[in-house]
Amino acid sequence: MTLSSAPGKVYLFGEHAVVYGEPAVPCAIERRARVGVEQRSDGKLRVHAEDLSLDGFTVEYGGDTNDRPDVDVAENLVDAAMGYVDGAIEQVRDATGEPEVGFDVTIESDIPLGAGLGSSAAVVVAAIDAATRELGVTLEREEIADRAFRTEYDVQDGQASRADTFCSAVGGAVRVEGEDCRAIEAPDLPIVVGFDGGAGDTGALVAGVRALREEYDFAADTVEAIGDVVRNGEKALAAGDLEELGRLMDFNHGLLSALDVSARTLDTMVWAARDAGAYGAKLTGAGGGGCIVALDPTEATETALKFTPGCEDAFRAALAEDGVKRLE
C-alpha cells in the first residue's frame, strides 16, 4: 500500500472573492487527511473512509457513484465525498496512462468534512499523490495541485478556485489570484479554530454569492472590497503585524456576512473570540456553518470558545510548513 497525507487549511482572507479573480491568502494547518492506495486487478474501486464526519463507510463499485454508502449524513456531503474520490482516480488514470486501473482506497482524516478547513482538497491531493506513486509515477507538487483543482472544479460545477488544492499540495501560507499561485512568507501565526459541528453546502453558498452579484451592484462592490482587504492583509502578514491582521480579518468577516454566507453559530463564535481578546476572528471557507479562525497567542480564545453555545470543538492549529507528505 502507498500512503500519502495532505493538510487542511484556514483562510486568513479572501474566500468567495477568490472565485471572481480577487486574491486570497489561505494557510495550511496540521490537520491532515491520510489516503492509502493499493492497486487491484479487476478495475473496480473499493473505498473505505473513516472519520470525515461520516461515521465511516465502505463501498465497492465500478466507478458509478450511484452506489452510495448507507450512512446517516446529508446526501450532498456523501455525494461530494464520493465525487472527489472518483475525480481523483480519473486524474490518476490520465496522468499514468492506465485508464482501466482499479484501487483499494482507504481514507482517514481529522479534518471535518464541509466545515471550511479544506477536507476535500486534502483528500484529493493525498489520493492523487498516493495512487500515482502506487503505479510508479511521482508527480511534482504543482501538478498534483493542478489535477486536484480540476477535480474540485468538476465536482463543484465550475465554482472552485485553486486556493484550497494549491495550499494543501505545497503547504505553508500561499497567495492565489486567478491562475497565479505562489508560496509566501508568514510569521508563526497563533491560529485558533472553532467548529460548530456543522457544514455548509459549498455549491449552494457560492451560487448564492453569484446571484447577489448579478442582482446588486453593491454586492459586486463587496466582493471587490474583500480583494482590497486581502491586499492590505498581505502587507500586514509580511510585516508580522498581528494586530493589523486581526483588524482586517474582522473586516473580512463583516463583508462575508453582508454576502449572506455566515451563520448564527459562526457569528457567535467570532464574537466570543473577539470578546476573549483575539486580535481578530472570521469564518473560514464557504460558510453557512463549520469553522471560524481567530488569532490569539494566549489560551483565552480557545477557552472561551469551548464554553460558547453552538461551539462543538475548539483547538489550536499549527501552520503546516509541508504540504503533501509521502509516508510509504
Looking at residue 98, what DSSP letter applies?
-
Q: Are strands 2-13 and 180-184 parallel, antiparallel or unpaired?
A: unpaired
Alpha-carbon distance 305 to 282, whole Å? 13
- CB-CB contact of 192 with 293 (8 Å): yes
Q: Which three three-digit cell numbers place residue 171? A: 503547504
First to last CA, the chain: 7
Indicate if 221 belongs to the active site. Answer: no
Spell out the residues 6+ positions from residue 36 whose beta carbon is closer than 8 angstroms to its own.
Answer: 1, 2, 3, 105, 106, 130, 328
Q: Tell me the C-alpha distance between 325 and 79, whole Å.
A: 27
Cα-based distances in Å from 173 to 30, 194, 222, 320: 12, 20, 24, 9
Whole-Å CA distances, 71 to 53, 58, 59, 103 = 11, 10, 11, 22
- Which residue's entry shows cell 483528500? 123
- Cα 254 to Cα 251: distance, rounded to the nearest angstrom: 5
- Give the bridge partners for 108, in sequence order: 34, 50
Q: Give the span between the Cα atoms of 48 and 108, in whole angstroms.
A: 9
Residue at grid coordinates 453593491: 218
d(CA 14, CA 16): 6
Choosing from 164, 196, 201, 296, the catalytic residue is 164
Which residues are identified as catalytic? 164
